[in-house]
A = this chain, B = another copy of it.
Amino acid sequence: MPITEALAVAQQREPQRLLRLQELLRIPSISTVVAAKPDVEQAAAWVSAYLQEIGLEHASVLETGRNPVVYADWLHAPGQPTVLCYGHYDVQPADPAELWRTPPFEPTIEGDNLIARGAADDKGQLIIHLAAVEAMLKADGRLPVNVKFIIEGEEEIGSPSLDALFDTHHDRFQADVCLISDSHMLAPDCPVIITSVRGLMALHIEVTGPHKDLHSGIFGGAVQNPIQALSTMLAQLHDADGHVTVPHFYDRVRPLTDEDRAGLAQLPFDRTAWLAEAGQPPTDWGEPGYTIVERTTSRPTLEINGFAGGFTGDGIKTVLPSRAVAKISCRLVADQDPEEIRSLLSDYLQSLAPPAVRVTIQPIQSGPGASVSRDHPAMKVASAAYKAVYGVEPLFVREGGSIPIVALLQKKFGMASLMMGFGLPDDGLHSPNEKMSLSQIRRGVATILHFFYGLRG
């Protein structure tokens, strides 16, 4: 079973694979939008059918309290390790829709890029695992290792159903290592393996004043405006530099060691390119005493993801609105506990609330961060796979984003996750015009093929 044949099959199957990926990208499986449930279910059914089609067994859609999980396996390599391949078929919302150059759910190819919501996060990356498995089964009639697939529909809302699912189906998801392609490299010639992900805690805050919207000329100036009250509260979550001012927010943050900081400083980082991608004026902003790389990977943050209140259509509505809302999320590092942070932030927000308004806070989601040892045996195999395809060893990098399953697999099974992502920094994850490089998919399939064959004992 030489790899050359599987590589050739993967290449031949590329046009067909691209058509199938476009089918999946056309399904607006937005997990946070309750009304998108039928689309979410359609995406799960699509994935399940495709897993079966490429030759996997026991393909099934497992119901959860919310969005289903798709499972399949191929377990005919006795004595060989078992890899749990993870991906997610759910996507972020596409708004603001007006900023997309092409419709977010009509995948469009421009040069080397496939543009669509979910192109890189994660539909275009989960297809890499499927393509590798398909190629090996077509070329060899078998796989070099055992594989199980778990492809979920709630990653973008914090994977709330996995905990109970792993309790109910504990044995089914046992494996030696989890393979995840849901992250990005530092550059097209700079592959990385992620060694930690941050946790996430999100909440919804609602500030209510008058019981209905009031005429500003009749009540304004004598009734506190919930927008003004909420703005005052939100303004006190950071100091002017960007340090989070929630009391005890940083208490459990593990300080960066000199070695950590030296390692982060050695990573290739093009400050000018980064600022250009962010598109902000070239003014430094962020927690004082830390570099951009440190702030975005190794320090906790607090972000206001949205706010709304009153009238913001054409012109003006001279209203004193009844309520104002905001969504806030924190990225957490070890050893911050999401529930403790939620409690600290909620208490602080309540303490900031002016007496003339009522404040209610609802949890949205939460999950802790996690890290993976560089000494795990699969790390070496993964490094060699990258070297074979990209010509260089991967760098070991802390990821600023959150992949909830990583901490969960560690807790439930003591299982390590190997995060081999093939996205690029300018893919625009969660942004308009999200894209995935077609050559990165191609090289991703080759890398994963090398990984699977390399893993064989």
Question: Residues of A with Cβ closer than 8 Å to B?
Answer: 31-34, 92-93, 95-96, 99, 156-158, 198, 200, 202, 204, 209-225, 227-228, 230-232, 234-238, 240, 242, 278-281, 283-287, 292, 295-296, 299, 301, 303-322, 324-327, 329, 331, 354-358, 364-365, 399-402, 425, 428-433
Contacts and interface: CB of A to CB of B under 8 A. Distances in A.
Nearest to A216: B303
A357 B278 CA distance: 12
B202 A318 contact: yes
The 7 closest A-B pairs by CB, nearest first: A211-B279, A306-B310, A217-B401, A32-B315, A221-B301, A235-B235, A231-B234
Nearest to A200: B318
Contact of A296 (B222, B326, B331): B222
A288 B257 CA distance: 52
Q: Give the oligomeric copy count.
A: 2
A320 B303 contact: yes
Contact of A231 (B231, B280, B314, B358): B231
Q: Which of A99, A329, A402 gathers most chain B CB within 10 Å? A: A329
B313 A430 contact: no
Nearest to A432: B212
B231 A304 contact: yes
Contacts of A95: 311, 313
21 contacts: A92-B319, A93-B317, A99-B213, A99-B322, A200-B217, A209-B279, A209-B280, A211-B280, A215-B401, A215-B430, A216-B301, A216-B303, A217-B401, A225-B304, A228-B237, A303-B318, A305-B310, A305-B318, A306-B312, A317-B327, A318-B402
A238 B231 CA distance: 11
Contact of A317 (B34, B326, B331, B430): B430
Given A316-B32, A358-B281, A321 B296 contact: no
B214 A316 contact: no
> Of residues A227, A278, A317, A324, which shows the largest number of chain B Cβ atoms within 10 Å of its Cβ?
A317
A240 B354 contact: yes
Tell me if A's interface is mostly helix, strand, loop or mixed.
loop
A60 to B, nearest CB: 26
A221 B305 contact: no
Given A204-B316, A220-B303, 11 more contacts: A93-B317, A96-B213, A99-B212, A99-B213, A217-B331, A223-B278, A235-B235, A285-B354, A305-B310, A306-B321, A312-B327
Query: Which of the listed residues A33, A95, A217, A295 has the most CB atoms from chain B within 10 Å of its own CB?
Result: A217
Nearest to A34: B314
Nearest to A365: B316
B217 A316 contact: no
Given A212-B432, A329-B216, A310 B317 contact: no
A217 B231 contact: no
Contacts of A321: 305-306
Contacts of A292: 222
Given A225-B303, A295-B221, A310 B327 contact: yes
B304 A228 contact: yes
Contacts of A402: 217, 318
A318 B319 CA distance: 30
Contact of A315 (B283, B320, B365, B432): B365
Contacts of A209: 279-280
A221 to B, nearest CB: 3
B295 A93 contact: no
B299 A307 contact: no
A310 B311 contact: no
A304 B93 CA distance: 28
Contacts of A200: 217, 318
A281 B356 contact: yes
Contacts of A228: 234-235, 237-238, 304
Contacts of A310: 304-307, 327
